[in-house]
Chains A and B, each alone.
Chain A
Amino acid sequence: MSDMLELVGLVVDLPGPGGAVRVVDGVSFDIPPATTVGLIGESGSGKTMTANAIIGLLPDGATTGGALCWRGDDLLRVDRRRRRRVRGREIAMIFQDPLAALNPTQTIARQVGEILRRDGLDRDEVRRRVVDLLDRAGIPEPARRLNNYPHEFSGGMRQRAMIALALAGNPALLLADEPTTALDVTVQARILRLLRTIQESEGLAMLLVSHDLRVVAHVAHQVVVMYAGRVAERGPTATVLRRPAHPYTRALVDSVPAIRTRTALAHPLPGTPATPANRPAGCAFHPRCPLARERCRTEQPAVRSVAPDHWTACHFAEEIADRV
C-alpha cells in the first residue's frame, strides 16, 4: 500500500458518431506523495479526460483500459462503494469554473461542511472545522462568510471556497483542472501561491492540469506533456522546460509569450493540434514536426528514457538540442 498513484497504460474510449474514439491512449506516469505533477496539453490532448478518469467522473458510455493503482487497488476495477469512498476523501478535485461547480442554492458553509456532516460530526464541530478550512484557503474573516452564497463571492474567493471544500475530506491527492484559467492575473498569482503553500504544508500530492506552461512551471515539480491523447514527454519541470526532449515541448516553450522579450513569434508551429478522432498514423505530431521523416510517419514512438526520470516519445529526441 503506497500513497503513490500510478497510471499504467491508461486508455479511455468515448463513443462518437463514427465509432469509439480513443481520447486517452496508453498514458503512464506516477504521482508520488507530496509532489506536484503538471499535466500540460492543448485542446484535444486528453489531459482533462485523464484527470476525470482518476476521479471517476468519465461521461456515460466511456470505457477504460490499463490500470490506476492507488493504495493497493486498481481504481478502474474497484466496486462503486470503494470508488465513492476514494472520491472526496482520498482523492479530491478542484474544477476550472467554481461558479458551475458550486451549488448556487446552498451557502458556502453547507457545501464545505457536507462531507463533515456525513462523518457524523455535531453542528458546532462542523462549524468550527469549516471556519478552519476557509481560513486555510485564505478567506478573510471566515466566520462572517459562512452564510454567504457563491454569487456573493468574487471569482478568486469562490475558487478558495472550492479549495476549502476539496480539503474538507482530508485527501492525500488533489486534482486541479485549470484552477486559475478563469481568473485575472493578480488573482491567479495568489491562488497558485495558495495551492503551492497548501501542497507543501499538508504534504499533498497534486495533479495540476493546465494548457498554460507558465502556470505549470510556477507550481509543478514534475511535468507530463500530452499530445493527441498520448504522453509526448515527462520529467522534472526545470529539465523539461530548459532542455525539452520532444519537438512539441520545444515548440510550446518557444511560443510562450514572454513579458520582457519578443521571441514567441519567431517560429510558430504550423497546423492545428491533432485530435484523438483524427490522429495521424505513426507519431501523432509528425505533420507539424520540424524533425519529421519517414520513420515518424509509420512507426509510433515508444516512450523511452533519455536521462534519469526524463522520458520522451520521440525517435529523434537527441537531435532537438542541435537544431535550436
Chain B
Amino acid sequence: MSETLLKVRDLRVSFGRRPGPPWRRATTREFVAVDGVSLDVGPDETVGLVGESGSGKTTVARAVVGLVRPDSGTVTVDGHRLGPVGQRPAALQRAVQMVFQDPRSSLNPRMTVAAIVGEAWRTHPVSAPAGDRTAALHRLLDDVGLDASVARQHAGELSGGQCQRVSIARALAVKPRLLVCDEAVSALDVSVQAQILRLLVDLRASHRLSMLFISHDLGVVHQIADRIAVMRSGVLVEQGPAGEVLVAPRHEYTQALVGAALELNTES
C-alpha cells in the first residue's frame, strides 16, 4: 500500500469546448475550470479544499469521483488510475464516495431511507451485509446518529440535518476509503452544522476514512481538516498544515481570504 491514498496529478478540466461539426465555428469560448492541480490525501487524513465560487474546488471534487472527464492529468487511488464513473472497476468506484451540499436534491424524496441504503448495497453487492440486512441497516443508522424508525420514512419527510445523515449513511454503506464532501454542511443551520461536523470527525476515526472536504467557510474547514489547500481561478495557490495556512498564510490571496473572514469576537 502506498503512502498516499488519493493522488491527483496535473489535473486540467475545461468546459465549453463543443466537438461540433468542423464547418461550424465553436460558439462558446473554452473555460479552464481547473488548471494543473496536484493534490495528495493520505490514509486517515482529511484535506480541506477552500476557495471562493468559481475557483474550481467543486470541479476537482467531481473529477475525483468521476463525474467530469479531465482534459489531462491523472487521479489515482492506491496507485490505481481512476477513469470516469461507470468505466471504473466496481472496487475503485466503491472506494470513493461523495456527500453533496444539498441533501434535498441529492436524495430521492419519494424513496424510503431503507431503499436508499438498499440501492447502494445492490449496486455494490460486495459490500452488502451477509446476514440480516435490517440489523445491518439499523447499525448503520445508529452510526450516523439516526433512530432505527427513520428507516421506514421517506427522504422528503426528513429535516435537512437528518437528510445529510442519510447521505452519509448511504456513502458509508459501501465501506469507502475516501469520502468527498462538497459543501456538505453549508446548507445547514449553525447548531445542526456543528452536529454533522462532529459526526464526520467521529466517523473518520471509527471507520478509518480519508476525506477531501470542500468548503468556502474557512472556520468550518479548520474544525475538521489536517491539511488545507487553497484554490483560486483553477489553480492551487497554497497548501499546508491547517494551523499554518490559517494562522500564518504565505500566499497573498490566502492572506486576503483569512483577512476577510469574519470572526465572532471582532473588536471593531
Binding partners A and B: yes
Q: Which of A217, A255, A270, A288 contacts B190 (CB 8 A)?
A: A255
Q: Which of A188, A211, A259 contacts B263 (CB 8 A)?
A: A259
Is A258 an interface residue when CB atoms closer than 8 A count as contact?
A: yes
With A185-B260, A265-B197, A265-B201: A259-B218 Cβ-Cβ less than 8 Å: yes
Interface stretch of the complex, out of B68-76, B114-122, B129-137, B219-227: B219-227
Is A215 an interface residue when CB atoms closer than 8 A count as contact?
A: yes
**Those of B129-179 within 8 Å (CB) of chain A:** 159-162
Is B95 an interface residue when CB atoms closer than 8 A count as contact?
A: no
- A217 adjacent to B262 (CB under 8 Å): yes
Main DSSP-derived SS at the A contact region: loop
Q: Which of A188, A218, A256 contacts B219 (CB 8 A)?
A: A256
Q: CB-nearest residue of chain A relative to B221?
A: A257
- B53 adjacent to A259 (CB under 8 Å): no
- A217 adjacent to B218 (CB under 8 Å): no
Residues on A with C-beta less than 8 A from B193 are: 255, 257
Most chain B CB neighbours (cut-off 10 Å) among A253, A258, A269: A258
Minimum C-beta distance from B55 to chain A (A): 9
Minimum C-beta distance from B251 to chain A (A): 14
Is A79 an interface residue when CB atoms closer than 8 A count as contact?
A: no
Is A128 an interface residue when CB atoms closer than 8 A count as contact?
A: no
- A217 adjacent to B264 (CB under 8 Å): yes
Q: CB-nearest residue of chain A relative to B51?
A: A184
- A259 adjacent to B198 (CB under 8 Å): no
Type the 1/0 row for A242-268, where 1 means its CB is closer than 8 Å to any CB of B.
Answer: 000000000111111111101011001
Is A2 an interface residue when CB atoms closer than 8 A count as contact?
A: no
With A257-B223, A273-B192: A184-B52 Cβ-Cβ less than 8 Å: yes
- B218 adjacent to A269 (CB under 8 Å): no
**Those of A264-303 within 8 Å (CB) of chain B:** 264-265, 268-270, 272-273, 288
Main DSSP-derived SS at the B contact region: helix
- B216 adjacent to A258 (CB under 8 Å): no
Is B217 an interface residue when CB atoms closer than 8 A count as contact?
A: yes
- B260 adjacent to A259 (CB under 8 Å): no
Residues on A with C-beta less than 8 A from B222 are: 257-260, 262
- A256 adjacent to B53 (CB under 8 Å): no
**Those of B232-268 within 8 Å (CB) of chain A:** 246-247, 256-258, 260-266, 268
Is A201 an interface residue when CB atoms closer than 8 A count as contact?
A: no
- B191 adjacent to A273 (CB under 8 Å): yes
Minimum C-beta distance from B17 to chain A (A): 24
Q: CB-nearest residue of chain A relative to B196?
A: A268
Is A186 an interface residue when CB atoms closer than 8 A count as contact?
A: yes
Type the 1/0 row for A136-160, where 1 means its CB is closer than 8 Å to any CB of B.
Answer: 0000000000000000000000000
Type the 1/0 row for A195-221, where 1 means its CB is closer than 8 Å to any CB of B.
Answer: 000000000000000011111011000
Q: Which of B53, B159, B160 contacts A184 (CB 8 A)?
A: B53
A184 to B268: give the CA distance in the assembly, Å.
Answer: 21
Type the 1/0 row for B192-220, where 1 means its CB is closer than 8 Å to any CB of A.
Answer: 11110110010000000000000011111
Is B10 an interface residue when CB atoms closer than 8 A count as contact?
A: no
With A186-B52, A252-B191, A272-B192: A258-B198 Cβ-Cβ less than 8 Å: no
A42-B191, A257-B219, A258-B264 known; 8 new pairs, CB 8 Å cut-off, are A42-B190, A184-B216, A217-B264, A252-B191, A257-B222, A259-B219, A264-B223, A265-B198
Q: Which residues of A contact B (CB under 8 A)?
A: 42-43, 184-186, 188-189, 192, 211-215, 217-218, 241, 251-260, 262, 264-265, 268-270, 272-273, 288
The 10 closest A-B pairs by CB, nearest first: A257-B219, A255-B194, A268-B194, A214-B262, A42-B189, A184-B52, A189-B260, A186-B260, A268-B195, A269-B191
